[in-house]
Amino acid sequence: MVSNLQGEVCEDDLDKILTNIRRADVQLSLLGMHIPKHSLEMGDCTNHTASENPQLSYDEPSQKAKKTPALSCFKKLLLELDGDSYEFEDVVSALSKFELRAVAQRGWKISLEIGPSFKLPIVGFTQIKEALPPPMREYSVADLSHSIQFANSYQYPDEPEKRIDISDTVRGE
């Protein structure tokens, strides 16, 4: 869901919406404002004000007042559905990780002939495999004095137990 949280909010059917979202097995991510997980777990989601939310501090006072009702609603949704929230800047930087083609895609024209007198002009394109950015989930460890360390390992497809040193690999094109 992409939102600046400044629209009208009606919480009358929120429980029904939560039930239907769970039934449809939908994963919720809010794009537009980051609401920290610890802020979601601080108790009653409906009593937070704009002054208690540091992420609203850069907004004009009139915008803070517009966002506060929607913020409490989205906090409840994110808490109940174990959703995530991200700033627009984080989303844009993640989207920049998509790789673009070096050559512009060009269509190839063919004529589909059905019988001796029926022809359909068709333009075909090569299907491109979808590229996904890295996940934007937050990771943490139980003991905050330790940090999470990410590591890549390389192995043969037919021998997964045998590890390959990175110096023995060649990056493909």
Q: Name the pLDDT band for 106 (thresholds 50, 70, 90).
A: confident
Number of structural domains found in the chain: 1
In a domain? residue 158? no
Q: Name the pLDDT band for 120 (thresholds 50, 70, 90).
A: confident
In a domain? residue 127? yes
Quote the pTM value.
0.43
In a domain? residue 157? no
* pLDDT at site 62: 54
Q: What is the pLDDT of residues 29-78, one digit of tens each?
A: 888 788 887 776 664 444 333 334 444 444 555 555 556 677 888 888 88
In a domain? residue 161? no
Q: Which domain holds residue 26?
A: 1-133
Mean pLDDT is lowest, of 7-11, 71-75, 99-103, 127-131, for: 99-103
Q: Name the pLDDT band for 27 (thresholds 50, 70, 90).
A: confident
Q: DSSP of 97-166, one letter per residue? A: TSPPPSS----EEEEEEETTTEEEEEEE--------PPP------SSTTS-------EE-SS-TTSEE-G
